[in-house]
Amino acid sequence: MAASAFRTSSTLLLHFPHSSHRPSLPFPSSSASWRRCQPSVRFMSTRVSAAASSDARTLQEGIAGFYDESSGLWEDIWGDHMHHGFYDPDSDASGADHRAAQIRMIEESLRFAGLSEDPAKQPKRIVDVGCGIGGSSRYLAKKYGAKCQGITLSPVQAGRANVLAQAEGLADRASFQVADALKQPFPDGHFDLVWSMESGEHMPDKAKFVNELVRVAAPGGTIIIVTWCHRDLGPSEESLQPWEKQLLDRICNAYYLPEWCSTADYVKLLQSLSLQDIKAADWSENVAPFWPAVIRSALTWKGFTSLLRSGN
């Protein structure tokens, strides 16, 4: 069945459209070729050159190595979840419980997507695309009594996620493997909730990414994408400002990210796939308090520099 034939309800949640909201990160930059971060988008590219596919491989190896090395340190400080917290922009976030804010991010995402609290309508089969150490999967497996399957590029993360699921008595409901989000090892139409929490920014081909999410979604299912985007371009703009590109380059270099795109770009892509109920939101203000907390933790975190690849 073609993905575009699904009556899949797609919910898209996005934050960071405004690159100017990001702090200037004090991270060193690198010149490796796949790390180029031109925030222009090439949608629906169907032919991949040899150079592009070798860039994609290098990127995948970089992402896997980055998370293999950094996940244990991150877990020590931040626990199960490798994503932002969600905050009320009007309240004082100094002294906030950041782990609680990470759970709030999950709950706000579900609420935004309109997932019903009615047990009869709750998801039963969930895929966690870019699962980290499986924090979302375990949370959702418990919340919904659902079966979750997570994929990550990092063997260390997949192993740790399985250990944690077993330790929490969830081995029969949450399982994890190394697999590529752009080529998922799942049949068409399998999941009634497709969940991608802050993994989309790593995907070098957004069209392929979105197509795979749609392919594995069941008819009537829901897709939730929470990801980093640059701001939407104005009607007379062809690209971001040079200073914005420079800032994004630095973030790309630090976090193994390929090209960025905007929220509007994602929406256009989703619209081209005949999905229903597409919703998008900018949560930049809601996640902003998380960054100072991460930077504060880094200052007391001796091993942090090993998280960030210096120029090579």
State the CB neighbour count (10 A cutoff) for residue 293: 18
Residues 189-218 interacting with ligand SAH (rule: CB under 6 A) = 197-199, 202-203
Closest of 221, 213, 228 to residue 273, by C-alpha: 213
The phi, psi pair for 25, rounded to 5°, reads: -85, 135
- Separation CA 235–CA 187 (nearest Å): 40
Q: Which of 15, 22, 35, 83 binds ligand SAH (CB under 6 A)?
A: 83
Query: What Rg do the C-alpha atoms of the chain give, in angstroms?
Result: 18
Q: Which of 101, 126, 127, 131 binds ligand SAH (CB under 6 A)?
A: 131
Residue 238 beta carbon to ligand SAH: minimum distance, rounded to whole angstroms: 28
Residues 167-186 interacting with ligand SAH (rule: CB under 6 A) = 180-182
State the CB neighbour count (10 A cutoff) for residue 309: 21
Residue 136 beta carbon to ligand SAH: minimum distance, rounded to whole angstroms: 5
- Contact by Cβ (8 Å): 133, 154: no
- Which pair of tokens denotes residue 297? 């933790």
- Contact by Cβ (8 Å): 266, 273: no
Tell me if 270 contacts ligand SAH by CB under 6 A: no
Stretch that binds ligand SAH, among 16-24, 128-136, 258-266, 272-280 (CB under 6 A): 128-136
Stretch that binds ligand SAH, among 3-11, 127-135, 241-249, 271-279 (CB under 6 A): 127-135
Cα 290–chain centre separation? 16
Nearer to ligand SAH, 244 or 259 (CB): 259
Nearer to ligand SAH, 125 or 202 (CB): 202
For residues 137 to 156, the per-residue mask of contacts with ligand SAH, x marking binding by CB under 6 A and - elsewhere, is --------------xxxx--
Name residues whose C-beta falls within 8 Å of residue 59's C-beta, 6 or more positions apart in sequence. Answer: 34, 202, 204, 256, 258
Tell me if 225 contacts ligand SAH by CB under 6 A: no
Q: Counting every residue, how long is the chain?
A: 312
- Separation CA 201–CA 97 (nearest Å): 26
Residue 148 beta carbon to ligand SAH: minimum distance, rounded to whole angstroms: 12
Name residues whose C-beta falls within 8 Å of residue 307's C-beta, 6 or more positions apart in sequence. Answer: 66, 69, 70, 73, 74
Tell me if 157 contacts ligand SAH by CB under 6 A: yes
Nearer to ligand SAH, 181 or 273 (CB): 181
Nearer to ligand SAH, 229 or 244 (CB): 229
Nearer to ligand SAH, 6 or 78 (CB): 78
Q: Residue 127 in 3-state DSSP?
A: strand
Which chain residues interact with ligand SAH by CB under 6 A? 63, 67, 81-83, 130-132, 135-136, 151-154, 157, 180-182, 197-199, 202-203
